Structure 1
């Protein structure tokens, strides 16, 4: 994202009036092919002008600092009245160099670079907009600064001293063809007259010609390079508009097609002066050229339309190809892919009208394979599966964007993972990519829809998350202080940024959230972290958000830091908030932070730490094992590995003072899932939570160059990992076009409104990681109620003289759900002399008489607490006599005689009870 930032010195200088002696202006600008570049200066006065004190400075790619140009030429000497001074690139061709007053490297410019002419340090004229990068060129009103010669309009006699104002080249400049040097060195009245053109004989269709397949040949560059040819073909695509490619594609006539599959039958004609239509049979005279390694017909002098309304058939191709170079055989041809293709890159959608397509989602090699040969093989295969869809427009920030079908806006998005079922267009090549310029509008299908929020797992009672908030800087915290060194460039942008981030965090609904890329300005009332928490509480009235205060002015030395926020109505801080700035966290790797928490409901204790390891960029100073070793891990890998090991050791020492093994580390590790730092964490006992639960490493949080992978991770100790019930990425950012973010640069006024919504989508460039934890064991599910069961026909024995209360025996019964609905009693019928208690014990409840009743039969059912009854079963109680047999003698006989009266009395009572029952 480009930011315009002008130094205070520049603002002062730019505001000063042009001095009376400033009679020098930039009068001609040449941005030709190769190094054909020149600037012409003109003395507008009627007297000789001293050039001493004048300087011409070059500011490349939006360089905003007037005091630090990329190149400067100090002028000396004098210039006659109405005279010109020509500055030429040393690498220019002989024709242009022959017109030079001086050769200088200040002419190392392209169409997007600004030039400033100063007199004694004060701006007197300028070309382009200082401090702003327009992309490839400033282009408006049919005048472009790229690959053209521009001449100052004759009525412009004073320089443009407001170098930071928006630059519209059509206001003061006239456009001429590339490499037109005819007027360089002349201005105004001294311009050499243009001779009348010689009569041109019309081209004759059907005569001897050079075939397109011969022009293309089998290889990359044409063997007829710089050769003037006449060729014929049928127009398959027309991109002659001023904001298009500036030409048209033609394909061979049927009779001219050869049998060699390696030679293309199509070519691009860079010419717009003669209008053509699709289906025209044309004859073209021009030179064979290579433009960004694509063969084309350039320097066209004539185009003749031989016939109209012809039809052509697209050549069917398919992905993947065996080799990327195989597509060279179709360069310039009308082709079709009749297969489902998946959107893999939408980064250039809004800016350049480009969409990356492939046969499947493409992963970073080191996301799914080990670094080295395995990862590099993945990337080599990726190249064979992809193609670029290019809308054929050279205008940046097209409004509306070319895709999706109904136009891109905040609610009609085009996400990575969406699909298109067929593509028809012409095959082009530029910027090292084969691309198809569609001739039929493609129809995209939203196969990867947005989700409103990450759903909480039914068993979870804690949620931990990680979120990179992409340079959340709040100025001075009171509405001023913009632009900041990172993040929003104005308060209006910050309001838009904050609204999206707050929407995302509120929807995540986490109890603890680790943040990355938040402004490192302490913990005061106007700090960035305080601003974010206040905004969250204003948005979410159901929760009470708070931040962990580490009681320092800054954490480490970087402009950005990590942070911890939490819901004080769900968890409380426990122990001491900890940081360390010891090696390897004194530089590159951001300083680690950690805090322990306790759940208010479950009293679960756990520690959350946040990491942001060294990025993969800025490789120029990387040396040794920190250099890019070509294994897919990019540069600074070694310092990330050292950081991972040191972080794990620090956590093992319980820096918060809480001796609890439940530890989780979240953050932006700047390493994909199979890279050394993530495996170093695992070796230390901190496993990749998402990968462990998924069983693979296909989860992703980031998209770069059409490849997805996870730079953001949660790694956990063994004890905490066992409590994780789900772990996922919420794809609100990586899949969305960057055009939907909060920034207003590179957008029309209507797009500033239509592409923005205060929702979570494209709140950042990284997806949040969401971890759901079950801190208390889940209750076992209650089974369906089951009736108890009694064993059938159970038999018991009892003596006739057993006293009341004697336990006869224990019923045999079972109950499958006894822990939920235990047996609470028994229903007994058939006899009153026997009862059964709640435990199933048979008990004597009345006198028993062997002579009157030798067997008692009961009907019994068991009953559980839910009222379920077992099947009724017959239970038998056998009564045995206490009297001795007839063979008994001696003292036992006399004892029997003595007991006889008692026995008769007992039988009399028993008979009375029987009679009572009968009555």
Structure 2
């Protein structure tokens, strides 16, 4: 599974917030705060194993913890606290904590340590109290002092420590003591009077001992202390442990949902006033929360403490009263600051931010009702997707992430995964008709309270939010960003990659020993372990999974599609391709035609073939496979899936393979990030996760395999694609870049394919080898239907809540997004010359199963996007015009691309330039008169819009850093054209280039001096002279040459037109334009069947000039000022009129 740079690792400064300490304990980043009032006197530890024992385990709360009881002052430096699975192993370092030097037990006699409890509990394995995970405590010398199991036993035996992984030696072979207790939602299991029971958590306070919510009559109110004085100006209250009386207006109240308290704020505070300390505070009081209402002015008396980093007052029954005094209501603060210090001064206060926020994660939405927001217009980024691991830039990205993130909470501590009351209540933020997707913009429509808990700042609504009261209580509007289909990418055929999330036709109920994830009624949904199946639990669940995948693939409608995480059916005594064949059958049935076929497995395969595999499917009407497939058999892939190679060729108009355009595609699925063994495979914390060395070895082996096959096939076109489990700038990807491969997704899109821990990045890539493979690429898109969606919409979460979110559409069909690349520029003949009626592509939602191995954490995307309503399928109007008689040479094949299809014959005049230089895109006749938008995707930088004039449009290189970028032209959101572009430094020479526009013109337009054909030379030195030549190809027209001075932008232009308007037909033919002293050339054709009225220059108002009197910038045409001499003639010797023929004329642009 993916990893990200942990806060505080590798040079990123950790977020400093309230010290996470028990009262009296030394500083330790893993020790929990006391959530209740500390005992007034030193506690006496009950009769427990000497010198320490476990007295409380919390695992149904937003943060897990294990409480260790010992005499006050006991030194626990170097002690280890941790959790093992029901199988007895420690899965990862996250489940172990070693206490730092100086850690001591405080006066309460208990130390609560924040540590993850293994997910065999969180997943519900012990939900019935039968058999679960266990907690242990080991001293600094390695002696085991306590080992307690959650729940009871199975088969008469409890959890026994197992060797391997991170399991400490002291635990191995030892059987835990079953507690027999299971925690209810929002509670912990606690050792009280020698018996374990479930109760409200008291971390850092002995269960049943002093420090719990007082039951004695409260202290009589004393002198009123201002809330700001209680909060103080630091991270902790200066009045911790003291009893105070204060007053405030109730701003939010939570009598339901488990928070058991309310926020109060000093009257009249807030708004734009400056402050050093907060005027708001949380009152923890289940005894009085039902006695107060929002808007009331109250007085409370209770003890001050810090709970999970938030200052609170614990108030007992009788400790709160409603005052009659009329006071000014608090005012919301309108901005959300970046620093912890500034946020500390707003803790507990009303906010209604006017800032822009973006959803960055929704994975916890269906468990804790949380959305992770990022301050700003973009979600948080995976640092290693942006820059090399541990580079200054990567560290800066994570530091910025830490500043920008905040949780949008639901005013509740409910866990919707195991709380029956919560499961019977509709989720907050997640609705069948609306889903909060990662990347969606968020705006606040009503105030929230800024709280803090479990190491994160939180926006709390003013009451518990559920799907039932969302219309009144939800404080935000969330943008709908779903796209029903991918963007149309230019190109004659498409190549794509799709991880299909453990598509297994072998369901769990067909095998022995399978364990399951169950729905809220206890019905199995997906396989959790115990057998080789990884997907659906039964046929009903499989049908829901398949419906989503089929809908997604048929909407993509790609020529060649690589698949990852599909069942290797040979592992279940079936033909290896059985699952693949069944998927193709389902696709064709859904399409209503035999649209798809699959590539058969090769004869030679690795001996230890994985239970999941890679594969190809394709459309025989668009491409043909050449030869057989081949699997790479190499020890480098001992823990991954064998790469699968296949050569393809597009079909020509007659349906024959164009072998000159043959290409080799190799699909891959590298080792995941979640686990690893051997040198270099440990997770070093640099953001690359575990098994990085193995992925580097796999990348190196793959490059060699591709080179061997390339030489055998005699092709220069190679594409590597699939799930590389490596972000864009990580070490394995550098192997490909150094071998000459281009990352198309990175170069041509600004989207990513995966979300993990609230960070977006791409694990899935299509890599094109430098040369014909890269040259054939016309465009790309990432269709974000999966990673940005909440997991609640997957088939794997069917019937987890009373509000059903599953639908048979493509959204959350998997947890990785498909990447699509268009190949070949469309000028070559393509298949299907006859117009055809396109099939409707109505989406069918299904929810995908997580794509990780059973031992790895689930993907971190959370579903927060509204569920779309699927429209009834409609039959689209055919877009292919009826065939007409060709007007060109009858031996020339008729192009079969739709005339409205972008990308046909489009080219750019330069692929490098300085900021301010013009970029002219030609071949845009079909967009004549339309506005197109330019963009440099790598930043991205918007170049604005320009109107197509004369089949050409011009933009200007923006002021951005020198280096490799991607220049893209859009029509709306559709990519028209895209190409790599090098922005040059001021002292770097631009690449000389030459272009003409239009490339085809009618004779009548050609003899019009206001139209003609425009020639543009760029990349030259300002002030120098360049000489253009125009040579007719076999016509009766005399050629010419013209010398033009280069302007300040490095550009020289002129317009070529015919000088015999009485006989325009004499100009029919083709012409070559060149620049003397260079190998630059461009051509145009004067033809009767050219699109009429496509001016080459124009004299209108829409100018795009590149300098001189008419300005510069992004217009779509150009008014070319002419001198009298230019209009009167060409000048001596510039154009000779051959007998009986005509002359070519020149209209030069003023380049001053």
TM-score (structure 2 length as normaliser): 0.53
Q: 1:121 to 1:770 in 2, by over 3 A?
A: closer
Contact 1:351 1:746 in 2 (8 A): no
Q: Greater RCO between the two (CA within 8 Å, min separation 6)? A: 2
Selected match of 1:425 from 448, 469, 477: 448
**1:342 maps onto 2:394 in alignment:** no
CA positional deviation for 1:455: 4.1
Determine if contact 1:723/1:774 at 8 Å carries over to the other structure: yes
Distance 1:476 1:350, change over 3 A: closer
Structure 1 residues 649, 233: CA separation in 2 closer, same or farther (over 3 Å shift)? same
Aligned to 1:474: 505
The 1-side partners of 2:492 and 2:591 are apart by 19
**Higher mean displacement: 592-601 or 782-791:** 782-791
CA separation in 2, counterparts of 1:90 and 1:463?
A: 58
Q: 2:235 aligns with which of 220, 224, 229?
A: 220
Deviation at 1:507?
0.9
Query: What is the correspondence of 1:603-682 to structure 2 with a 5 Å cutoff?
Result: 603=658, 604-618=661-675, 621=677, 623-624=679-680, 626-654=681-709, 657-682=712-737
Please give the alpha-carbon distance, in whole angstroms, between the structure 2 residues aligned to 1:715 and 1:520: 25
Alignment deviations for residues 558-578 of structure 1 (CA, whole Å, 9 cap, x no partner):
332211112233322212311
DSSP-derived class of the 2:697 partner:
helix
3-state SS, counterpart of residue 330 of structure 1 = coil
Distance 1:60 1:744, change over 3 A: closer
Aligned counterparts of 1:62 and 1:639: Cα–Cα separation in 2: 30
Partner of 1:114: 151
Task: List per-residue Cα deviations over 1:239-285 (Å, max 9, x = no partner).
Answer: 122x231111112356999x993422222111121221112232323
Distance (Å, rounded) in 1 between the aligned partners of 2:724 and 2:323: 62
Say whether the 8 Å CA contact 2:267–2:327 is kept in structure 1: no
Match of 1:414 among 436, 441, 459: 436
Counterpart of 2:383 in structure 1 is 365
Cross-structure match for 1:77: none
Partner of 2:793 in structure 1? Answer: 740
Shift of 1:373: 1.7
2:592 match: secondary structure: coil
CA deviation after TM superposition for structure 1 residue 335, in Å: 2.2
Contact 2:250–2:293 (Cα < 8 Å) also in 1: yes
Partner of 1:164: none
Output one character per residue of 1:160-199: Cα deviation in whole Å (capped at 9) or x when no partner: xxxxxxxxx9xxx996785796699xxxxxxxxxxx987x
Partner of 1:452: 484
Kindly name which structure, 1 or 2, has the bigger radius of gyration based on alpha carbons. 1
**Which residue number corresponds to residue 515 of structure 1?**
563
Q: CA deviation at 1:431?
A: 1.8
Matched, 1:566 2:597: no
* Structure 2 match to 1:705: 757
Q: 1:249 to 1:547 in 2, by over 3 A?
A: same
Deviation larger for 774-783 or 674-683: 774-783
Structure 2: distance between partners of 1:435 and 1:789: 67
Q: What's the CA shift string for 1:487-519, capped at 9, x where partnerless?
A: 223322211111101111111111211111122
Instruction: Answer with 705-714 or 333-342: which moved more.
Output: 333-342
- Please tell me whether the aligned partners of residues 190 and 207 of structure 2 are also in contact (alpha carbons under 8 angstroms): no
Deviation at 1:538, TM superposition (A): 1.6
1:530 alignment partner in structure 2: 581
CA distance in 1, matches of 2:246, 2:740: 69
Change (3 A) 1:182 1:711: closer
- Contact 1:150–1:175, Cα closer than 8 Å, also in 2: no
Determine if contact 1:577/1:656 at 8 Å carries over to the other structure: no
Residue 350 of structure 1, CA deviation: 2.1
Structure 1 SS opposite 2:748: helix
Does residue 1:729 correspond to 2:746, yes or no? no
**Contact kept? 2:728, 2:761, Cα under 8 Å:** yes
Give the alignment partner of residue 783 of structure 1, picking from 984, 1000, 1006. Answer: 1000
Choose which of 296, 305, 308 in structure 1 pairs with 2:321. Answer: 305
Q: 1:351 aligns with which of 356, 367, 373?
A: 367
Aligned partners of 2:559 and 2:623 also within 8 Å: yes
Mapped contact 1:236–1:334 kept (Cα < 8 A): yes
SS at match of 1:743: helix
Residue 1003 of structure 2 aligns to a residue whose secondary structure is coil
Q: What is the TM-score of this pair, normalised by structure 1?
A: 0.65
Q: What is the CA-CA distance between 1:425 and the residue it aligns to?
A: 1.3
Alignment partners' CA distance in 1, 2:562 and 2:622: 16
Question: d(CA) in 2 for partners of 1:466 and 1:758?
Answer: 21
Query: Secondary structure at 1:416's aligned position in 2?
Result: coil
| Structure 1: tracts of 5 or more residues without a match | 2-28, 39-57, 74-88, 92-102, 130-136, 154-168, 185-195, 792-809, 827-837, 839-862, 869-874, 879-919
Paired with 1:388 and 1:713, the residues of 2 have a C-alpha distance of: 31
Q: Deviations over 1:341-387 (max 9, x none)?
A: 22222222222111122212122122223332211101101221221
Unaligned runs of 5+ in 2: 2-54, 59-64, 71-116, 160-177, 417-421, 463-471, 515-526, 828-903, 906-922, 926-998, 1009-1034, 1041-1055, 1070-1085, 1093-1136, 1141-1152
Structure 1 residues 64 and 552 mapped into 2: Cα distance closer, same or farther (>3 Å)? farther
Q: Distance in 2 between matches of 1:573 and 1:477?
A: 35
Residue 266 in structure 1 maps to residue 280 in structure 2: yes
Cα deviation for residue 470 of structure 1 reads: 1.3
What SS is found at the alignment partner of 1:632? Answer: coil
Structure-2 change in CA distance of 1:817 and 1:585 (3 Å): farther
SS of match in other structure, 1:105:
strand
Aligned in 2, Cα 1:812/1:700: closer, same or farther, shift over 3 Å?
closer
Matched position secondary structure for 1:672: coil
CA deviation profile, 1:625-666 (whole Å, cap 9, x unmatched): x44444433333333222222211210111794221111111
| Match for residue 250 of structure 1 among 264, 267, 270 | 264
Cα distance in 2 for residues equivalent to 1:210 and 1:118: 59
Select which of 446, 451, 461 maps to 1:438: 461
Give the Cα separation in 1 of the matches to 2:1087 and 2:232.
91
| 1:294 corresponding residue in structure 2 | 310
Q: Cα distance 1:235–1:478, how it changes in 2: closer, same or farther (>3 A)?
A: closer
Instruction: Give SS of 2:713's match.
Output: coil
Q: Deviations over 1:443-467 (max 9, x none)?
A: 655545222222444x522111100
> Residue 577 of structure 1 aligns to a residue in which SS?
strand
The 1-side partners of 2:236 and 2:179 are apart by 39
1:906-917 correspondence runs (5 A):
none
For residues 351 and 876 of structure 1, do their structure 2 counterparts lie closer, same or farther at Cα, with a shift above 3 Å needed? closer
- The whole-number CA distance in structure 1 between the counterparts of 2:394 and 2:266 is 42
1:99-128: CA deviation from partner (whole Å, max 9, x where unpaired):
xxxx98354x6xxx4334986999xx9956
Offset of 1:286 from its aligned partner? 2.4
